Chains A and B, each alone.
Chain A
């Protein structure tokens, strides 16, 4: 590596995981030693329907480069219907972010069951790779910078 080489980009990635499926899926990825980059930090929520769009916007505003939400597969929600509401909320939020010019790849929803350690790990690897390809998130931190 040359001396001028820029510091390697290490994205900040927040993952919201529901307690019953995805958090357990992440635990399974851990106990199965299925690695994914350390850039991903998980926040435990009871259900994907607990994830307020404000949390996601806040993460971006505070400098997150990507936010992913994981919940139980539709139909398998521990609370029966939570992920269905979450699905609508996130669809609309992501669409809005896309609309204001925030790269769509920075947000993602994935349904990961407690048995899907492999899927959790692959998803996170993919997502981090995607964020790498998008680079640092400047837009959401920057929406109202008067130039």
Chain B
């Protein structure tokens, strides 16, 4: 029989306001095995932990139940306290009477009743707990960063500077990401490329950083400290070592009709191309969809003009397999497709553009060489209308339910830049709210209004109506004046919602990292562990976790790097002892369990068994506890019940069921 101590936390008033904590402790004492029960203001405090330690020592407790917040918060705290007192930490169970009780119920009597039952279940479980000892696993001192935008670059630089090897995997032919497409940045109006390219160069020159561009993560296996990742290096058809980056091939390439991804399809590029002038690596790739050689077998101009002999049409995709201790996801974002917003005439008029397209138009390396002009007729606009919240803050399934966060600021930036460079252009912004929480942000927005005379109108636009004369009639609301506005404009810019990059769900699945309904990766704790995934060893950097601007992204990238460094600095990790175990007396050796094990942790041995005096050689399942992650799939599939999960055994769970249903 266990000797169990029950410790009920008030959590200030968080629990005590709705749960009669004294009553919970009192009722706990009536349960079998309980020899001690008490309540305290803050169990997680130093003094609270001391109470647990004291009780374990004085009353020779063999098991502990803490009735408190979620085990996801303080399980470790209390287990460590128990360990201090000489008790096996796995003899501690938590009854979650805060998140699952006091916070969601209002009636004291009801909440108390429930808390008593939750406590009872935890006690029933502890009665069947057995001491467990974690194993150890090694840490591969190398990190993988998925995504080579500003987030990935910053994370890689920080990890590399700490002395660890880092690989960056980037899908596009060059690193740089979304930031490389921006013209200026808010709130200081720095040139985006001017601040980004030095970082790109630094990353590529860093001896600890290895960059795989035009590559994708193909497969991930393993676990924290010991991931194995297959990276597909897509065929570039250009030899990275031989190419000098002279650019002649791109000049001479006769196929120049492919839409430029970098310029958002606003102009075209050659079939052999580097996305932009400052690309890193400065080695082009051949787009086989538009390359004449690949389509017809004839041409080969690039190969002929290449002095270095770097063109290789026979190149094949290559799979690189590499081990990593930590993985940082920095997959970034894209703007949403506007198919669901045809009332804004984006698909009907070339002069309705997204903000990201405007960035390219404003940029000297863009399709109009930096001149603000209408894409339909090349004329300079006189009236520009910006529409905010296009696809953001939508409760229906047309758009995204969240605020994209960066649009208010970049719209103010665009408005300001246009008024600055083209003072004769009138700029009107239709907004629902102007959101500027950030250092110098509101000041920036006010400058747009006060200094540059941008006309802000509170109200959404209902329809953009192309006119036969080529102008755009914008029909919107002015809610403050309570009128409907019809405004003729030359160009309309849509502050298009952003969404996590396509393919992030696939990556999350490979990493078994949780992801929310909007395809943002979920953090381990919304407030306290914002840069870690709940999956150990996976860290989050940049917009893949939620909308953010550049300074926030860089800050988070640094934070993710620190978390990864913290992991890589360890030589060994303790493994979760809650692993499966097969009872060799019960095992049939039927192989069903191995079929469902996602980790290949189960193998079979012919083993001499002594079954109550009968000695025979049997085929039995053996679990490699270093590989087992403790999911329990095998335990349910096992027909004989030989397979059980330590810490979540059949008897423990059944005891909880019984205690709840009693």
A–B in direct contact per CB < 8 Å: yes
Q: How far is the CA of A38 from the CA of B534 in the complex (A)?
A: 28
Question: Which residues of B (65-99) have their CB < 8 Å from a CB of A?
Answer: 70-72, 96, 98-99
Q: Which has the most chain B C-beta neighbours within 10 Å: A21, A89, A115?
A: A115
Any chain B CB within 8 A of the CB of A42? Answer: yes
Which of the residues B632, B637, B657 comes within 8 Å of A14, measured between beta carbons?
Answer: B657
A45-B632 contact in complex given A21-B514, A38-B113, C-beta closer than 8 Å: yes
Q: How many residues of B contact A (CB 8 A)?
A: 54
Q: Once the chains bind, are B117 and A41 in contact (CB under 8 Å)?
A: yes
* Cβ contacts under 8 Å, A43 to chain B: 121, 653, 656-657, 660
Which of the residues A12, A38, A58, A79 comes within 8 Å of B654, measured between beta carbons?
Answer: A58
Any chain B CB within 8 A of the CB of A29? Answer: yes
A62-B661 contact in complex given A38-B114, A114-B522, C-beta closer than 8 Å: yes
Any chain B CB within 8 A of the CB of A95? Answer: no
* Cβ contacts under 8 Å, A54 to chain B: 650, 654
Which of the residues B98, B517, B637, B660 comes within 8 Å of A30, measured between beta carbons?
Answer: B98
B516-542 to A contact mask, C-beta < 8 Å, 1/0: 110000100010000000110000000
Q: Once the chains bind, are A24 and B534 in contact (CB under 8 Å)?
A: yes
Q: Once the chains bind, are A75 and B598 in contact (CB under 8 Å)?
A: no
A41-B114 contact in complex given A51-B636, A59-B657, A79-B598, C-beta closer than 8 Å: yes
Q: Once the chains bind, are B522 and A79 in contact (CB under 8 Å)?
A: no
Question: Which residues of B (591-635) have their CB < 8 Å from a CB of A?
Answer: 596, 598, 629-633, 635
Of the listed stretches B54-62, B485-493, B505-513, name the one at the interface; the rest are far from the partner chain: B505-513
Smallest beta-carbon distance A143→chain B, Å: 16
Q: Once the chains bind, are B104 and A36 in contact (CB under 8 Å)?
A: yes
Smallest beta-carbon distance A139→chain B, Å: 15
* Cβ contacts under 8 Å, A35 to chain B: 104-106
A38-B101 contact in complex given A14-B661, A20-B534, A59-B661, C-beta closer than 8 Å: yes
Any chain B CB within 8 A of the CB of A63? Answer: yes
> Closest chain B residue to A75 by CB distance?
B509
Q: Once the chains bind, are B648 and A42 in contact (CB under 8 Å)?
A: no
> Closest chain A residue to B113 by CB distance?
A38
* Cβ contacts under 8 Å, A63 to chain B: 661
Q: Once the chains bind, are B653 and A80 in contact (CB under 8 Å)?
A: no
Q: Once the chains bind, are B114 and A50 in contact (CB under 8 Å)?
A: no
Which of the residues B103, B106, B633 comes within 8 Å of A49, measured between beta carbons?
Answer: B633
Q: Once the chains bind, are B512 and A55 in contact (CB under 8 Å)?
A: no
Q: How far is the CA of A14 from the CA of B515 in the complex (A)?
A: 26
* Cβ contacts under 8 Å, A46 to chain B: 578, 630-632, 645, 648
Which of the residues A34, A58, A115 comes within 8 Å of B522, measured between beta carbons?
Answer: A115
Q: How far is the CA of A72 from the CA of B106 in the complex (A)?
A: 29
A82-B660 contact in complex given A34-B104, A46-B632, C-beta closer than 8 Å: no
* Cβ contacts under 8 Å, A58 to chain B: 654, 657-658
Smallest beta-carbon distance B648→chain A, Å: 6
> Closest chain A residue to B125 by CB distance?
A43
Q: How far is the CA of A64 from the CA of B72 in the complex (A)?
A: 27
Smallest beta-carbon distance B530→chain A, Å: 13
Smallest beta-carbon distance B638→chain A, Å: 10
Given contacts A38-B111, A49-B632, A89-B636, 12 further A-B contacts (CB under 8 A): A33-B104, A43-B660, A46-B648, A50-B631, A62-B661, A63-B661, A78-B631, A79-B629, A79-B633, A82-B631, A114-B522, A114-B534
Q: Which 4 A-B pairs have the closest CB atoms?
A: A30-B99, A50-B632, A62-B661, A115-B516
